[in-house]
Amino acid sequence: MSNYDAVVIGAGIIGTSTAYQLAMSGYKTLCVDKLPAAGYGSTSGSCAIIRPYYSTVEGSALAYESHFYWKNWDQYLGLEDEKGNVIYHDCGCLVMKTEENGHLKPTIKIMDEIGCPYEELTTDQVQERLPLINMKSYTPAKPPEHPDFGTSNGSTVTGAVFFPHGGYVSDPQLSAHNVQCAAEAAGVEFRFNTAVTDIQITSNQITAVILNAEQIISTSVLVNVAGPHSSIINEMAGVTADMKISTRALRHEVAHVPAPKAYDFEHDGCVVSDNDIGAYLRPEIGNHILVGSEDPDCDNKEWVDPDDFDRNFSSHWNTLAMRAAQRVTDMEIPGQAKGVVELYDVTEDWIPIYDKSFVKGFYMACGTSGNQYKNAPIAGEMMAKLISECENGRDHDSNPVHFRLKHIGFDLNLGFFSRNREINPDSSFSVLG
């Protein structure tokens, strides 16, 4: 039997960040993952977009704060990874104004409240900034087999909002390795190719976990950051009966397509969120465009078993490419599909769970895939504070822990992310959060 103060399940970007911050808080910490390396699962499939706009004040404040962590990534790590530290491409984010998003008036109100800068652009100003973009309107988003797909509805998108504090990370798996190195320097031990096969609870208190059906690890703190497998771990721990919010694994595809040859989108482009076509775009290496879905109503959601799903591209890849071709002038769709097929870990309202459970010592950072990559370094700090306060006797359910977002001066009530919250009606109910 080995003894640790805390065990973190999952070595994705949020799991490694949580382990790092627990070690920095004085916990002897073990981080385990059933895959062979940090960030090897859903983190590696993340589009790794850093953006401040969410549909809630709390979500937007947390996301805006994250920009400053990525901007100062080397400082956050405190070291240089032998594989190199990731580069944050601080290119900004452009969001199209549509009737469906209220022409971004609710978003602008939130940005004013949290002090996040933005610039409203006319249709002409959008095209001056991104000459490869046409501003025809195609809403509502449709599947390619619809007779009106690719045909403008006769109007134009009225404009957009540009957020200068945003961008993307082009190698999300490397970012998890970066944090692993920082965590190891702080004393964290990592074990890969290692599955949690049982959880031991005595008198409603976590006492141990069993690894690979043979090794007993004694611990009083267990943190579920298992990504798309989070529901399996919660079931194993027997904590789901106390939860109003649950998690499920959702299969998703991302397309990589070449940018028009006449335009250097890799260096001159930015993140584009386009509710009008139901897709988002960002630059990708090799002058490519990454295209992801904003989950329009016409698209089916494919809920899957995280241990048994199809990693091959489907017809949805072509749908994403064709949606992008509506917006990007002269974009060619290649004959061979390239991109990513991975899983999201999704709650009913697409807002994550950062919380304790009714079992003492069992904590959750779940439902995060799809829109929480950017918040990982802060999520690690939040979880470390939540765990420390709860382990010292605080009842987070009745007296929620607060976390100060130091760069933007915002007091974040972590009860917002409770497992027992009501489904938040202000959510976009999509990857936008």
C-alpha span between 355 and 390 (Å, rounded): 10
pLDDT at 432: 84
How far from the centroid of its chain's Cα atoms is residue 15's Cα?
12
Mean pLDDT of 148-176: 97
430: pLDDT strictly greater than 90: no
C-alpha span between 37 and 32 (Å, rounded): 10
323: pLDDT strictly greater than 90: yes
Q: Same structural domain for residues 203 and 314?
A: no
Provide φ and ψ at 236, rounded to 5°: -60, -35
Q: Same structural domain for residues 294 and 358?
A: no
Q: How confident is the model at residue 258 (pLDDT cuts 50, 70, 90)?
A: very high
pLDDT at 10: 98
333: pLDDT strictly greater than 80: yes
Mean pLDDT of 248-260: 97
How far, CA to CA in Å, does 394 sit from each of 70, 224, 225, 386, 401?
31, 20, 22, 9, 8
Residue 303 resides in a domain: yes
pLDDT at 431: 86
Domain finish residue from 307, 323, 344? 344
Residue 278 resides in a domain: yes
For 1-60, the DSSP string reads -EE-SEEEE--SHHHHHHHHHHHHTT--EEEE-SSSSTT-SGGGG---EE----SSHHHH
**CATH number for 153:** 3.30.9.10
Q: How confident is the model at residue 203 (pLDDT cuts 50, 70, 90)?
A: very high
Q: Which domain holds residue 367?
A: 2-82+171-246+349-417
Q: Same structural domain for residues 236 and 365?
A: yes
Residue 58 resides in a domain: yes
Give per-residue pLDDT as tens, 172-184: 999 999 999 999 9
267: pLDDT strictly greater than 90: yes
Residue 433 resides in a domain: no
1: pLDDT strictly greater than 80: no
Q: Same structural domain for residues 228 and 187?
A: yes
Residue 381 resides in a domain: yes
Nearest to 194 by CA among 180, 181, 210, 179: 210
Domain finish residue from 344, 364, 393? 344
Mean pLDDT across the chain? 97
433: pLDDT strictly greater than 90: no
Mean pLDDT of 247-260: 97
Mean pLDDT of 195-220: 98
Does pTM top 0.95 for this prediction?
Answer: yes
For the sheet with 88-89, list strands across it: 49-50, 167-169, 88-89
Mean pLDDT of 375-403: 98
pLDDT at 112: 98
pLDDT at 244: 97
pLDDT at 169: 97
pLDDT at 234: 98
99: pLDDT strictly greater than 80: yes
C-alpha span between 4 and 340 (Å, rounded): 36
Buried b (16+ CB within 10 A) or exposed e, 44-63: bbbbbbbbbbbbbbbbbbbb
Q: Same structural domain for residues 132 and 263?
A: yes
CA atoms within 13 A on the CB side of 369: 28
429: pLDDT strictly greater than 90: no
Q: Tell me the β-bridge partners of 120.
A: 161
**Which tokens go with 2?**
């080995």
pLDDT at 28: 98
Number of domains comprising the chain = 2
Q: Same structural domain for residues 328 and 354?
A: no
Q: Same structural domain for residues 133 and 182?
A: no
Q: Same structural domain for residues 159 and 276?
A: yes
Q: Same structural domain for residues 28 and 149?
A: no
Beta strands 402-405; 410-413: pairing state: antiparallel
pLDDT at 396: 98
C-alpha span between 18 and 353 (Å, rounded): 14
pLDDT at 155: 96
**Which tokens go with 169?**
């990370």
pLDDT at 317: 97
Residue 370 resides in a domain: yes
Q: Tell me the β-bridge partners of 247.
A: 347
DSSP state of 260: P
Q: Same structural domain for residues 159 and 21?
A: no
Q: Same structural domain for residues 8 and 59?
A: yes
pLDDT at 214: 95
206: pLDDT strictly greater than 80: yes
Whether the CB-CB separation of 191 and 80 falls below 8 Å is answered with: no
Q: Same structural domain for residues 160 and 180?
A: no
Residue 370 or residue 245, greater confidence: 245
Beta strands 29-32; 189-191: pairing state: parallel
Whether the CB-CB separation of 15 and 222 falls below 8 Å is answered with: no
**CATH number for 186:** 3.50.50.60
Residue 431 resides in a domain: no
Residue 336 resides in a domain: yes
